Amino acid sequence: MELKDRFLKYVSYDTQSSEQSNTFPSTEKQKVLLAALADEMRTLGMTNVTMDRYGYVMGTIPATPGCENAPVIGFIAHVDTSPDMSGRDIKPRIIEEYDGGDIFLNGHLTMTVKDFPELSFFKGHTLIHTDGTTLLGADDKAGVAEIMSAAEYLLAHPELRHGKIRIGFTPDEEVGRGVDFFDVEAFGADFAYTVDGGMEGELEYENFNAASAKIEIQGRNVHPGYAKGKMINALDVACELQTLLPAEQRPQYTDGYEGFYHCVGVNGTVEHASVSYIIRDHDADLFEQKKVYMWACVDLLKKKYGQEVLTFTLKDQYFNMRKMVEPHPQLIDKALEAMREADVKPIVRPIRGGTDGARLSFMGLPCPNLFTGGMNFHGKFEYCSLTTMHKAMQVIINLARLWAE
């Protein structure tokens, strides 16, 4: 199957995950694509193909003769799409030889080069974009398609020497639970790569340290005409908390290695409100300082309004994988070489987010992240370059060979 056809097939599946669900995976519909992938892997000729009760799919491309002792390398991607926007009834549109101009999505929406200047890089590429009503699902079905197409190539070309390769597909990455039940021992790889990046050439082995915070605010509602000295407006307290946090440390004002506080949800009334934040920083010390500062802000409001008014829950989510990857420089060196062989200019930079690979690295499976060619993830402006997707597929094939040399 051609890479384009494979990608378009995968994005036709609605695999949106849910932050509200307590099940695993968070939505059963993810298992539909995962089961289809397991069947396709068997059809391609992979061995030891499994799908466990959590939905994790794993399979093996056996080593070619003489390469049985090479390190076992894994390639991993997630099938779920972001809860931020619908992934149902996606209607992909294809532009052959993109001219570098604005892209018309629908009668009300245009993706402009002014708003998205990276578009200029893709002039001459074949682009796949949305119709402006859903996300595309390149995050991370582009990675899934690239891994499967590379696997198909390797299985069809036994003359290309490589060691044992393990393939893994996961649910629920977008809600931060993607490897909660991932069996690293069963996967059996010495090292792995997630294929979940964006811009052509991205190679990432640094990511945010991450925490989530939830504040429950119990207000006191009184008739507004007689509220003086009595009312505690839970929504006002929520707004006050937001003003206590440094405005310059919000996502829209930060870049590179800079961390942030991000208010991702507010829900409530005068009587009760809930506020959700995520806290991010690449630097471990600054990350801890951010958490301590938020505690201090909540304590200040408790002293002002009463201890019982605010309830604060703070949870670490994942940590910067750099310290787990750096002891294995060959992981990065071989990825750089694989990119150069594919005529890709490497871009080594920190992930302003996280991947399954970050947590897997702390679970004993060092796991940097490779580009896919997808852009503008999680929204209606999402698109991907099929031209870059072919290069990502070639990088995977090159890595398979390089690890056996």
**pLDDT tens track, the chain, 405 positions:** 999 999 999 999 999 999 889 999 999 999 999 999 999 999 999 999 999 999 999 999 999 999 999 999 999 999 999 999 999 999 999 999 999 999 999 999 999 999 999 999 999 999 999 999 999 999 999 999 999 999 999 999 999 999 999 999 999 999 989 999 999 999 999 999 999 999 999 999 999 999 999 999 999 999 999 999 999 999 999 999 999 999 999 999 999 999 999 999 999 999 999 999 999 999 999 999 999 999 999 999 999 999 999 999 999 988 999 999 999 999 999 999 999 999 999 999 898 888 889 999 999 999 999 999 999 999 999 999 999 999 999 999 999 999 999
How many secondary structure helices (H) and strands (E) does the chain include? Answer: 10, 18
pLDDT, residue 153, reads 98
> What is the CATH classification number for the domain harbouring 291?
3.30.70.360
Residue 191 burial by Cβ neighbours in a 10 Å radius (0-12, 13-18, 19+)? buried
The one catalytic residue in 139, 140, 146, 173 is 173
User: Are 250 and 368 members of one domain?
Assistant: no
pLDDT at 56: 98
Position 353 scores a pLDDT of 82
Domain that holds residue 273: 209-318
All residues at 6 or more sequence positions from 337 whose CB lies less than 8 Å from its CB, including other chains = 398, 402
Give the predicted TM-score (pTM) of the model. Answer: 0.89
Considering the domain architecture, whether residues 158 and 254 belong to the same structural domain is answered as no
Report how far residue 398's alpha carbon sits from residue 164's, in angstroms, rounded to the nearest whole number.
14
50, containing H or E segment: strand 47-51
d(CA 252, CA 258): 11
* Residue 185 sits in the same domain as residue 131: yes
Cα(185)–Cα(52) distance, integer angstroms: 14
Task: Identify whether 80 is a catalytic site residue.
Answer: yes
CATH code assigned at 116:
3.40.630.10
Residues 91, 213, single domain; the answer is: no
Same domain, 92 and 148: yes
Hey, what amino acid is at 347?
I
Q: What is the CA radius of gyration of the chain?
A: 23
* 162 and 236 inside one domain: no
Q: Are residues 396 and 306 in the same domain?
A: no
Same domain, 51 and 193: yes
Q: Where do the DSSP E strands lie in 257-391?
A: 260-268, 272-281, 310-318, 347-348, 369-370, 374-375, 383-385
CA 89, 95, 98, 102 dihedral sign is negative
Q: Tally the domains of the chain.
A: 2
Alpha-carbon gap, residue 129 to 137, rounded angstroms: 10
Question: Residue 101: what pLDDT?
Answer: 97
> DSSP assignment, residue 398?
H
Q: Is there a catalytic annotation at residue 174?
A: no
pLDDT for residue 355: 83
Name the catalytic one among 14, 80, 196, 206. Answer: 80
Q: Say if residue 23 is in the same domain as residue 136.
A: yes
Tokens of 264: 């991702």
Distance (Å, whole) CA 231 – CA 225: 10
Clarify whether residues 218 and 146 are in a common domain: no
Q: Give ∠ CA 183-188-189 in degrees, rounded to 5.
A: 115
Could you tell me if 138 and 248 lie in one domain? no
Q: Are the C-beta atoms of residues 171 and 144 closer than 8 Å to each other? A: no
CA dist., res. 323 & res. 314, Å (int) = 24
Q: Give DSSP secondary structure letters for 167-201.
A: EEEES-GGGT-TTTT--HHHH--SEEEEE---STT
CA dist list (Å): 268 to 19, 235, 394: 18, 7, 50
**What is the enclosing helix (H) or strand (E) of 165?**
strand 165-170
What does the alpha-carbon distance between residue 167 and residue 271 come to, in Å, rounded to a whole number?
50
User: At which of 255, 289, 318 does a domain end?
Assistant: 318
Q: Are 379 and 84 in contact (CB under 8 A)?
A: yes
Last residue within a domain, chosen from 268, 297, 318: 318
Say if residues 67 and 154 touch (Cβ distance below 8 Å): no
User: 120 with 188, same domain?
Assistant: yes
pLDDT at 19: 87
Identify the H or E element spanning 150: helix 138-156
DSSP 73: E
Residue that is last in its domain, among 258, 291, 318:
318
Give the pair of three-digit tokens for residue 349. 């930079």
